[in-house]
């Protein structure tokens, strides 16, 4: 099931590549081929996507900074353009009502956060480009937190080379510690948030200057948190030009807000986060100490507890690695292996 809703341009978020690429060689190719034709292009940051119309922040930080609505040039039809993308845009970029600019190039991306529609799906979709932090928002209760979902966020972030951090909301409703114990060994940064005392200053300090993508199940309090973090003036950045008639953003579309010198990208409530495209090595890479030990594993080692000669398990037993850390990695990889098995059985 899509958690981006059913109304979107079916071509919008497809991407044919399945391995992590940095930067995207396709974007590079298009860039060099088309550059001479659009020397007057300006750079825009995609802040929202809505049925084939893109909201861009252009000339960010300059006196004539503006919010522009754009369509994509025909030659980009098969390429996904997503929130966080840096694009070259031509035409009327004044941002005045009724104007429509044209995106002619997607600049190389530093990261790409992807998901498959479900684990069996080989077609992956790009969710967000150029994010360097993944803010996982989970509730201590209501809805009940599920370690498996966080494992999925972690795997997707690590696969993309994005740093995962976590906020646990609703600590006024339930004690989050039993849930958090699942992730203790991974050394992930965690903030605890309650209705009366959200850690806004701490989060602001941590996220300023970064491009953060926020993910969370519907109802966890993600919108409440993002709204509190973002001054109202910066919320205007994501508003689609009213004249196009496409300005209505509900929580079913992805929008970005300026957060200090960075951005926070709010994605819709996640219902599924397929991992059909992820490689084990990319997950291990997120933890260099574990990856180094796992290099001595037998070929094809799945790094599971029942694996007889897994170096991770041996190192944990001998005290060379923290057992909780290895256990968390084993669980994350089990999530991934189960996801992949489903993919091949379908």
Query: Do 156 and 126 touch, CB atoms closer than 8 A?
Result: no
From residue 225, how far is each of 195, 197, 210 by CA, in Å?
10, 11, 17
Taking the C-alpha atoms of residue 226 and residue 174, their distance in angstroms, rounded to an integer, is 21
Q: Does 220 contact ligand GTP by CB under 6 A?
A: yes
Map the footprint of Zn ion across residues 267-326, applying CB under 5 A.
Answer: 297, 301, 303, 310
Q: What is the DSSP string of 13-63?
A: TB----S--SS-HHHHHHHHHHGGGGTT-EEEEEEEEETTEEEEEESTTST
Q: Which does 252 bind (CB under 5 to 8 A by kind): Zn ion, ligand GTP, none?
A: none
Q: Which stretch binds ligand GTP (CB under 6 A): 105-113, 167-175, 204-212, 256-264?
A: 167-175
Does the annotation list 251 as a binding residue? no
122 has binding-site annotation: no
Residue 220 binds: one of ligand GTP, Zn ion, none (C-beta under 5 to 8 A by kind): ligand GTP
SS3 68: strand
Q: Which is nearer to ligand GTP, 182 or 193 (CB)?
A: 193
Q: How far is the CB of 107 from ligand GTP (least distance, A)?
A: 29
Q: How far is CA 263 from CA 128, 131, 309, in A?
A: 12, 9, 45
- Cβ atoms of 286 and 158 within 8 Å: the answer is yes
**Interaction mask 127-166, ligand GTP, x per CB under 6 A:** ----------------------------------------
DSSP 3-state assignment of 138?
strand
Q: Is 276 annotated as a binding-site member?
A: no
Site membership for ligand GTP, residue 193 (CB under 6 A):
yes
Residue 300 marked in a binding site: no
Place of tokens 């999530």: 335
Q: Are 220 and 138 in contact (CB under 8 A)?
A: yes
Name the segment binding ligand GTP (CB under 6 A); options: 37-45, 68-76, 193-201, 327-335: 193-201
Q: Which residue ranges make up the annotated binding site for Zn(2+)?
A: 297, 301, 303, 310
The binding site for Zn ion (CB under 5 A) comprises: 297, 301, 303, 310
């Amino acid at each position: 099931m899509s958690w981006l809703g059913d109304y979107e341009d079916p071509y919008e978020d497809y991407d044919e590549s399945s391995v992590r690429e940095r930067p995207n060689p396709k974007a590079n190719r298009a860039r060099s081929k088309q550059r001479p034709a659009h020397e007057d292009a300006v750079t825009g940051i995609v802040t929202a996507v809505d049925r084939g119309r893109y909201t861009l922040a252009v000339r960010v930080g300059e006196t004539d900074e503006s919010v522009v609505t754009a369509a994509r040039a025909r030659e980009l039809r098969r390429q996904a353009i997503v929130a966080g993308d840096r694009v070259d845009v031509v035409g009327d970029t004044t941002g005045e009502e009724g104007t429509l600019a044209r995106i002619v190039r997607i600049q190389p991306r530093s990261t790409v956060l992807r998901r498959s529609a479900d684990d069996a799906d080989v077609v992956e979709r790009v969710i967000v480009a150029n994010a360097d932090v993944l803010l996982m928002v989970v509730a201590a209760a209501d809805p009940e937190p599920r370690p498996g979902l966080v494992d999925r966020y972690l795997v997707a972030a690590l696969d993309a080379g994005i740093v995962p951090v976590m906020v646990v909301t609703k600590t006024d409703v339930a004690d989050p510690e039993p849930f958090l114990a699942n992730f203790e060994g991974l050394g992930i940064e965690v903030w605890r948030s309650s209705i009366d005392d959200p850690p806004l200053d701490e989060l602001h300090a941590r996220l300023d200057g970064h491009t953060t993508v926020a993910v969370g199940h519907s109802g966890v309090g993600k919108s409440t948190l993002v709204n509190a973090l973002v001054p109202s003036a910066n919320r205007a950045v994501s508003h689609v030009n009213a004249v196009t008639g496409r300005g209505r953003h509900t929580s079913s579309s992805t929008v970005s807000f300026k957060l200090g010198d960075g951005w926070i990208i709010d994605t819709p409530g996640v219902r599924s986060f397929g991992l059909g495209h992820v490689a084990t090595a990319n997950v291990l890479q997120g933890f260099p100490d574990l990856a180094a030990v796992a290099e001595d594993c037998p070929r094809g080692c799945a790094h599971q507890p029942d694996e007889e000669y897994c170096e991770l398990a041996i190192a944990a037993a001998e005290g060379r690695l923290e057992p909780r850390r290895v256990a968390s990695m084993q669980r994350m990889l089990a999530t991934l292996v189960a996801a992949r098995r489903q993919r091949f059985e379908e």
